[in-house]
Structure 1
Amino acid sequence: MRNAIAAAKRGRVVRVSLTAVLSIGVLAGCGTSDGPALTGAPGPALSTAPSRPAGSPDLGAAEEIAHGIDVPWGLAFLPGGDALIAERDTGRILRISAGRAPEQVYQVPGVVARGEGGLLGLAVSPQYAENQYVYAYFTAENDNRIIRFRPGGPPELLFDGIAKAGNHNGGRIAFGPDGMLYVGTGDAGQTARSQDPASPNGKILRLTPEGQPAQGNPNPGSPMYSLGHRNVQGLAWDRAGRLFAAEFGQNRFDEVNLIEPGRNYGWPAVEGNGGTDRGYTEPLVTWTTAEASPSGIAIAGDTMYVAALRGQRLWTVPVRDGTVGTPRDVLQDSYGRLRTVEVAPDGALWVTTSNTDGRGTIRPGDDRILRFPAR
């Protein structure tokens, strides 16, 4: 069943009040899983609180956890520290742990991998120890959608109707400190969608774990948390629970934004800075597209880590009290295109390369998963 967001009158775009209304359809799928169950890793339920590792990652001590992965995109940790990796083009979900070969644990049915689409973001339920749910965002035949599944069980459709295209599919999903599921979407190549309150595209959405609009959203009954985005592929929270998002620019500037409910971040009227006189929210950080093209972001302590695709480097950005310091780049040209970065339960930083995505130069062993231990 398709989700429909009722059309709403559009007024002047200035920190708009969101007026869309969503009706959700939930559908039980008929896919099957492959490989071992995901329940083998002991440990407490994964917390959605911002990570507070004992020390910062040692970026000079890279450890290759896995190689030969087909376009790794989503990355999420299970209780106990093992990781789940989404292969964009195959639709497979792999379980990865240090010292062991990757093993397939699920095959997401219905993935249509064309252009930038395919199996994208992953998230693990905050109550995984109790309910064993894993969430996935993927491109299907007609749209982008979100499912959840248990090991060995069929997928359950939670949210669909997010327009797809060869690019700008967004795809990052993550549970916030409030236990809600946040979703970064793209404009799917149609810039007007980002300012259209009747469209879920070009937005950050905030959903319940069941795929419904979360209570406390800017407009009751609407899934939209913020709008005016071009293509969001990075979501992370700081110690105080503030949400930051990475966003691809078009030809000039990429951004990291501090996301606040109901704010309008300007696309397509603004790329980078310069929109405050029209009521748009300014980015915290901008880079040229050649320096960044940011996808995943993560925050450990007082540092934000931003994975750069075209820029082929990892940006480190000091973050304190919702403000940022001067970015510094590391790992430039060391591993090629970097897609996803996440902080593990033990404080280590995990980074995925993205050289097999059709836009990179493939190096022997690509694509690989790297681990940088906490100091």
Structure 2
Amino acid sequence: VAKHTHNGSRIAFGPDKTMYFTLGDANRKRLPQQLDSYNGKILRMNPDGSVPADNPIPGSLIWSYGHRNPQGLVIASNGKIYSSEHGPTTDDEVNLIQKGRNYGWPKVEGFCDTRSESKFCEDYNVVEPLYAWSPTVGVCGMDYYDHDAIPEWKNSLLLGNLKGGNGDIGQRLCNLRLDAAGERVIDYREYFTYTFGRIRDVLVLPDGRVLLCTSNRETNSNAMEVVGPLDDLIIEIKAVR
């Protein structure tokens, strides 16, 4: 299932103790649309590894499909599941994950905005992303913020970016504020642009503080050359009143 690239590999636990985890397409584009393969899917299993009885496909771990390389996954306190996903050179995505639904890859990149994509989306009931970036920014780990400590971030997704070298995009923290239903992005803001390098993951603590994890010492052409005290950090963000 896993390979040297496009592995996904993000894990989250639901309130019913079932485990969700992401698997990329392993750079094999045909697999995300094949329901006999777990590549290009978000999976759901019981703690003992068995298939939950209420999964959408009887006997299968598949929860959703048609994914390229889902890098972030969070089950929010609003009950929704969100994922961030790498596009090829365009259309990095944030998706609202729904039971049994198709997210389009490789037939659809981002929104259903070409003739062939629109036809596929209609025929296969494809879910469009909540938000997409073109060119890509290298979306990565994410968390849901719903604390009063930073009021302007309440009911929003916090998302790290990895990619640099594309003008004014990438390597920053993105804030996607949601509507009351958690089903639409109503505001978008960016923080710490090119300040800490590659923001690999985001964690919201119970008291409203936020931790960022950077990863600048990777074998990756986009990695920022950071040395000494600014290399690979756990960064704390908190409100100052």
Q: TM-score range by the shorter chain?
A: 0.7 to 0.9
Cross-structure match for 2:225 = 362
What is the 5 A alignment of 1:42-191? Answer: 163-191=1-29
Q: Aligned pair in 2 of structure 1 residues 331, 325: CA closer, same or farther (>3 Å)? A: same
Cross-structure match for 2:210 = 349
Q: Residues 218 and 225 of structure 1 are in contact (CA less than 8 Å); yes or no, is this contact kept in structure 2?
A: yes
Cα shift at 1:347: 2.1
Aligned pairs, number: 212
Q: Aligned pair in 2 of structure 1 residues 323, 177: CA closer, same or farther (>3 Å)? A: farther
Cα shift at 1:215: 2.5
Q: Partners of 1:289 and 1:176 in 2: how far apart?
A: 32
User: Partner letter of residue 342 of structure 1?
Assistant: L
Cα shift at 1:165: 2.1
SS in 2 for 1:172: strand
Encode CA deviations 1:249-298: one digit per residue, 9 max, x unaligned: 011110011110010000000110014333311111001244x2111110
Cα shift at 1:237: 2.6
Q: Residues 312 and 337 of structure 1 are in contact (CA less than 8 Å); yes or no, is this contact kept in structure 2?
A: yes
SS in 2 for 1:333: coil
Q: Partners of 2:129 and 2:51 in 1: how far apart?
A: 26
User: Partner letter of residue 323 of structure 1?
Assistant: R
Which structure has more relative contact order (CA 8 Å, sep 6+)? It is 1
SS in 2 for 1:212: coil
Cross-structure match for 2:90 = 252
Matched, 1:283 2:126: no
Cross-structure match for 1:195 = 33
Q: Partners of 1:168 and 1:293 in 2: how far apart?
A: 12
Matched, 1:315 2:174: yes
Q: Which segments of 5 or more consecutive residues in structure 2 lack a partner in the other structure?
A: 147-154, 164-169
Q: Residues 230 and 247 of structure 1 are in contact (CA less than 8 Å); yes or no, is this contact kept in structure 2?
A: yes
Cross-structure match for 2:68 = 230
The percent identity for this pair of structures is 39
What is the 5 A alignment of 1:207-246? Answer: 207-246=45-84
Q: Residues 338 and 351 of structure 1 are in contact (CA less than 8 Å); yes or no, is this contact kept in structure 2?
A: yes
Q: CA RMSD in A?
A: 1.4
Q: Partners of 2:107 and 2:135 in 1: how far apart?
A: 17
Encode CA deviations 1:52-98: one digit per residue, 9 max, x unaligned: xxxxxxxxxxxxxxxxxxxxxxxxxxxxxxxxxxxxxxxxxxxxxxx
Q: Which segments of 5 or more consecutive residues in structure 1 lack a partner in the other structure?
A: 1-162
Q: Partners of 2:99 and 2:239 in 1: how far apart?
A: 33
Q: Which structure has the bigger radius of gyration? A: 1
User: Partner letter of residue 138 of structure 2?
Assistant: S
Encode CA deviations 1:97-139: one digit per residue, 9 max, x unaligned: xxxxxxxxxxxxxxxxxxxxxxxxxxxxxxxxxxxxxxxxxxx
The runs of at least 4 consecutive aligned structure 1 residues that moved more than 6 Å come to none
Relative to the length of structure 2, the TM-score reads: 0.84
Q: Partners of 2:122 and 2:239 in 1: how far apart?
A: 43
By percentage of residues, which structure has more helix?
2
Cα shift at 1:213: 1.6
Relative to the length of structure 1, the TM-score reads: 0.55
Q: Partners of 2:178 and 2:17 in 1: how far apart?
A: 23
Cross-structure match for 2:149 = none
Q: Partners of 1:374 and 1:196 in 2: how far apart?
A: 46
